[in-house]
Structure 1
Amino acid sequence: MSAADMSAADLLTTLARRAAHTPRRTALEHRSTTITWEELYARVTRARARHRTAGDRTPGRRVGLLVSNHPDAVVALLAVAANGTEAVLHDARATAHERARTAALATVTTWHAPSPDDEPPTGPPAAAPGPERPARYFGLVTSGTGGEPKVVRKHWGVTLANAAAFADAAGYGPDDRVLCTTPLHHAYAFGVALLPALLTGATLVLAPHPAGPATLAAALRDSGATVVQSVPFLYRALLDAGRLTPAPALRVCVSAGEPLTAELARDWRARVGVPLRDQYGATEFGQIAFCVDDPDDPGSPGEQAPAMRLMPGIEARLRTEDGRLLEHDPHASGELYLRQDGTEVTYWGLPEKSRAGHTDGWFRTGDTGRLPTPRTVVVEGRTTRRISVAGRKVDPDEVERAVRAAPGVIECRVAAPPEGTAGHGDRFVAFVAVEPGVTETGLRRHVARTLSSYKVPTRFHLRDALPRTGSGKVHLARLWQEVTA
């Protein structure tokens, strides 16, 4: 069966098989809650009946699920999808305005907040009727860090095949315990933790979210995790908090969401004894590439990122800034274009963006990189972050490195004002988290000694910390709202 022929019904079949063959093994853990495969299948079966009664199987109906990192959310997702309903996953903490915006884009007709199941049944789970029209699609909302979010139409079969390929590349198995530290409604946790665990029979351990370093360190210590997925910001916070204790079972640490520096990779390995593996992904594609190799030396600050292997079903090519296709050259850099077997990128409610994002059937990622071989990729940066200053190009990554090198700087994010605001295209600022005593004048002088004058930010906005999205990325939209309010 090809990925294009698969649906959510195949996930339910897998769940039923695990309930029959390994009923007492643990499927989900969260705080003090433990759910076996048999119990999970029984809960999904009963939830399907409740959703049918609520009318969630009406043809064409699209249901919004308000998702948190809790077993109830997993049960609701599996039940709705198995009933043939298209689900749109959304942050349970979202505001009414954010929900309304998503509902308008994806034509969501009702919102469902997963609630605790009734008392666990005794005996084997009752059989549930199969869906008349298995759900082929669902929706994931992009984080919208730099602008308006979009709802990506995801194909169930392609997503399942992609998650299975990642699980195989990372070596997941039924004896693994996968610690999920990022939100389930994001593509990263969905495709690296939730689906791989369901497909391989591993135990999914849901860490509390949001959580600080102390809580995550405790989860890592107490969960017996063999696999952990998180973001560089949280990995660094764990190291800086000094609360890490030995985790002898740990063997796979996956990092994604923002660039993984060689310094962080080296520090993590030195402290934990397990390599931190970079993963390149996107809401539109799921898992694009993974750093399978385990180099003895993670490198030193400033070295190029390691090559990652493309997932099966995903192809990559490079184009120049003016759109010219680059012939294969392992040393050439260009903008990355991707395509995925069985589907193409579609945004619900934004057909013009869906069309504009493609060139000759290939999706423009906005990322720059190299293709050392046809099946490996090195991600170098973002084309969409390039800033034009009086006709000259500024690379925000270069400016951020210069700012971070200044004494007392904790973190930095450089950006131009969003389109439609005053000064867009010719001004840019640095949002900087700093220690007490750091001044804008001092930072400006430091950067001016390192970079050309046109690369020095117009303004330095100093803060104690930079706000984060649920997936750990710097929340640029919120920063711009604060400085323009």
Structure 2
Amino acid sequence: MTGPSDADGRLLLGRAAFFDRLRSWAVERPTADAVIAADGTALPYGELVAAVAATGAHLRDNGARPGEPVAIPTGNSVASIVTILAAAALGAVPLLFDAGATEQERSQLMRLAEAQTCVPPVVAREPAAWPELPAQPGSEELALVTSGTNGLPKVVGKHWAAVVDNSVRFAEVAGYSDADRILCTTPLHHAFAFGVVLVPALYTGATIVLAPHPPLPSALMSLLAETRATVVQSVPFLYGAALETMPSHGLPDLRLCVSAGEPLRPAVRSTWLEATGARLRDQYGATELGQIGFAVPDAPDDACRLVPGVQARTRVDGEWSATEGELFVRVPGPPSRYLGQDELTERSYVDGWFRTGDWGTVDGSGRIVVTGRVNRRVVVGGRKVDPAEVENAVRSMPGVRDCVAVVGEDAGYVAFVVAEPDVTELGLRRHLAALLSPYKIPRRLHLVRALPRTTTGKIRMAPLWQDLTDGSAT
């Protein structure tokens, strides 16, 4: 097997290695389930490989070509997995985006990726020979969509060598095996699901269990119990909400819970461990890089350590630093790029290191701590404030369930707080006064019933600002 090497000359796993492993599972364990859909239907490894070959022929007949982007409206379905794999095996560049995207959004993404072909997910059944894996320029890429911190869509072109190598290293750290049943609760077109579930699960011979999207908290617990999942991949919001529907008999098969998207609240972490016996472990990653850090099991501070092969350092005021600063990361393999946005790609790298936009620390042992976003740091009274510090202080008050601190053009510095009825603004201010300098305490503490979120757990700010303007509870 040949392919790119990392800085130490170690051979990287790539697309060919991934498909070789997938086909080996079809020979060794043809009847073992590769994917189980939300409705309970299953596709064993033997049938999965046959379906990928047949679907590859179908895609070729419908305009997909090696080295060229093919847009795939992706849902959490068996057909989506088969179509993604078929496009990659054919040598096309899979462009994955939300099946619920509008026509305007779809057109914009296809324009950025220069994609001329769009194919709906399908599972073809006509017998077909396994395609030869082409190696011409472009055939080693795939494209994932990220909203970015400013909400504008970006199409990230990634090299299969970087994706597979990073995913397999993560699987090793997480202890994945062919005995695992991994429940995927986030959209397959997102890097979190792609790199933590799809690629590493199929490489290790595990079973992917697809949750419907968006999943309800009660559905999460039901699926965990019914499928006897050993691993679950989700977001902090869903873990916290699902605790209210925990089955009385517990979840004896569950061994690992991966969480990403935002920091885990200590109360959710401890309550989940008490209720399930499985530790919630933070995963820190980025669409452009894959898995960066993963919480060490049983560490007293639940610290994240860099995934093997990943390097990180900090930068302050344009200079590399050994202290807290903006986090820069690099992973083995060819660097990712923003399709159709060359200038953005150039701005995102400094001396070969990718600018994450996160603020934090890295130590000599590989411990990485993210303390906030660079572009969320605000100036209040001439002094810098990190909203993440403020949010953690608010959440530490008994009765508070959630919080987001932001600065609006008209409303100023505000914290939206979800809390029990007995929590008052005065009580919150007294609590914060003991923890924060006066200038860090938000001008307004607005109590709301819930923080509206997207299907991936990100907070939707527009309804909150509207609620503040109206002066009524959400």
Could you list the runs of 5+ residues in structure 2 that have no partner in the other structure?
6-11
Map 1:4-403 → 2, pairs under 5 A? 7-30=14-37, 31-57=39-65, 61-115=68-122, 117=123, 126-133=128-135, 135-144=139-148, 146-243=150-247, 245-295=249-299, 298=300, 305-320=301-316, 322-327=317-322, 332-403=323-394
Separation (CA, whole Å) in 2 of partners of 1:478 and 1:201: 43
Confirm whether residue 470 of structure 1 aligns to residue 455 of structure 2. yes
Map 1:433-448 → 2, pairs under 5 A? 433-434=418-419
Q: CA deviation at 1:164?
A: 0.5
Q: What letter matches 1:324 in structure 2?
A: E
Do the aligned residues in 1 keep the contact of 2:34 with 2:206 (CA within 8 Å)?
Answer: yes
| CA shift digits 1:380-432 (9 cap, x unpaired) | 32222111124211121232234435676432111234xxxx46xx9333333
Do the aligned residues in 2 keep the contact of 1:238 with 1:244 (CA within 8 Å)?
Answer: no
CA 1:72–1:244 in structure 2 vs 1: closer, same or farther (change >3 Å)?
A: farther
Do the aligned residues in 1 keep the contact of 2:187 with 2:213 (CA within 8 Å)?
Answer: yes
Q: CA deviation at 1:441?
A: 7.8
| CA shift digits 1:154-175 (9 cap, x unpaired) | 1111100111101111111111
CA 1:397–1:61 in structure 2 vs 1: closer, same or farther (change >3 Å)?
A: same
CA 1:16–1:450 in structure 2 vs 1: closer, same or farther (change >3 Å)?
A: closer
Do the aligned residues in 2 keep the contact of 1:372 with 1:378 (CA within 8 Å)?
Answer: no
Separation (CA, whole Å) in 2 of partners of 1:190 and 1:231: 14
TM-score, normalised to structure 1's length?
0.86
Separation (CA, whole Å) in 1 of partners of 2:405 and 2:145: 24
Cα RMSD (Å) of the superposition? 2.8
CA 1:291–1:225 in structure 2 vs 1: closer, same or farther (change >3 Å)?
A: same
Could you list the runs of 5+ residues in structure 1 that have no partner in the other structure?
299-304
Q: CA deviation at 1:87?
A: 1.3
Q: CA deviation at 1:473?
A: 2.5
Q: CA deviation at 1:37?
A: 0.6
Map 1:406-485 → 2, pairs under 5 A? 409-417=400-408, 422=409, 427-434=412-419, 451-460=436-445, 462-476=447-461
SS in 2 for 1:94: coil
Do the aligned residues in 1 keep the contact of 2:285 with 2:292 (CA within 8 Å)?
Answer: yes
Do the aligned residues in 1 keep the contact of 2:75 with 2:188 (CA within 8 Å)?
Answer: yes
CA 1:481–1:111 in structure 2 vs 1: closer, same or farther (change >3 Å)?
A: farther
Q: CA deviation at 1:291?
A: 1.8
Separation (CA, whole Å) in 1 of partners of 2:469 and 2:106: 24
Separation (CA, whole Å) in 1 of partners of 2:73 and 2:219: 23
| CA shift digits 1:298-321 (9 cap, x unpaired) | 5xxxxxx5332212221111222x
| CA shift digits 1:66-90 (9 cap, x unpaired) | 1111110000000111111111111
| CA shift digits 1:36-89 (9 cap, x unpaired) | 1111011111111110101111x6531211111111000000011111111111
CA 1:362–1:482 in structure 2 vs 1: closer, same or farther (change >3 Å)?
A: farther
Q: What letter matches 2:416 in structure 1?
A: F
* Aligned-residue identity in percent: 47
Q: CA deviation at 1:217?
A: 0.5
SS in 2 for 1:16: helix
Aligned residues: 460
CA 1:35–1:181 in structure 2 vs 1: closer, same or farther (change >3 Å)?
A: same
SS in 2 for 1:218: helix
Separation (CA, whole Å) in 1 of partners of 2:466 and 2:89: 40
| CA shift digits 1:274-293 (9 cap, x unpaired) | 22222111111111111233
Do the aligned residues in 1 keep the contact of 2:182 with 2:230 (CA within 8 Å)?
Answer: yes
Separation (CA, whole Å) in 2 of partners of 1:158 and 1:356: 21
Do the aligned residues in 1 keep the contact of 2:399 with 2:419 (CA within 8 Å)?
Answer: yes
Between stretches 243-252 and 148-157, larger displacement belongs to 243-252
CA 1:443–1:149 in structure 2 vs 1: closer, same or farther (change >3 Å)?
A: farther
Q: What letter matches 2:273 in structure 1?
A: R
Q: CA deviation at 1:364?
A: 1.7
Equivalent residue number for residue 302 of structure 1: none
SS in 2 for 1:162: helix
SS in 1 for 2:43: strand
SS in 1 for 2:337: coil
